[in-house]
Copies of this chain bind each other. A is one copy, B any other.
């Protein structure tokens, strides 16, 4: 017991988990899967990769135990293996944000300037949900809305928002949310709505944080 080779093997085992996340495309997959389960073809188009490559990366994630699968006919649905994996991904983002010098710059390049965007915190939204006088829109792809969304939110994927603005009642404040702090959908939604002279704010966090905070969630699409 306690010899060097076995110690190395054990720590290599721990490193396998990190290795599974150690690729940008796999990180994207985990970020998407944190929203809810999706099938392979869907995931491939989401991360803009070939199905074969996406499948390959998903197998790597499955090999490290980070994701699990379910078959439904010809489709295979992948999901995160547990809330621990979600927590791991959140911790990686936190450490990157706090300690990696250039992550702010990369985030700014991707997200653009957020200074002019109004925000609302999770807790404030939770309070004001009951009061009414507020419309919450989920601007993620429909599949993610179906897999779970903030109770009372309406699904308007960001691609459809421009053509759907007219259907939103005027003079009511709108809150848009998406996958999380590093997701651009809600930003784009608020910018678009502001351009149409609507009052709009962005939820600071995303759906995974809302769900893990045990705030009210609905699963499935409404009739």
Q: Which of B1, B91, B102, B107 contacts A188 (CB 8 A)?
A: B1
Please list the residues of chain A having a beta carbon within 8 angstroms of any beta carbon in chain B.
Answer: 1-4, 6-28, 31, 48, 64-66, 81-82, 84-85, 87-88, 91-96, 98-103, 106-107, 109-112, 182, 184, 187-188
Q: Are B85 and A88 in contact (CB under 8 A)?
A: no
Given the complex of chains A and B, what is the CA–CA distance between A102 and B65 in angstroms? 10
Identity of the chain B residue whose Cβ is nearest the Cβ of A26 in the assembled complex: B15
Q: Are A24 and B6 in contact (CB under 8 A)?
A: no
Q: Are B100 and A91 in contact (CB under 8 A)?
A: no
Q: Are A14 and B96 in contact (CB under 8 A)?
A: yes
Given contacts A2-B184, A12-B24, A88-B92, contact A17 B100 (CB under 8 A): yes
Given contacts A2-B188, A15-B23, A112-B1, contact A10 B95 (CB under 8 A): no
A27: chain B residues at CB < 8 Å are: 11-12, 14-15, 18
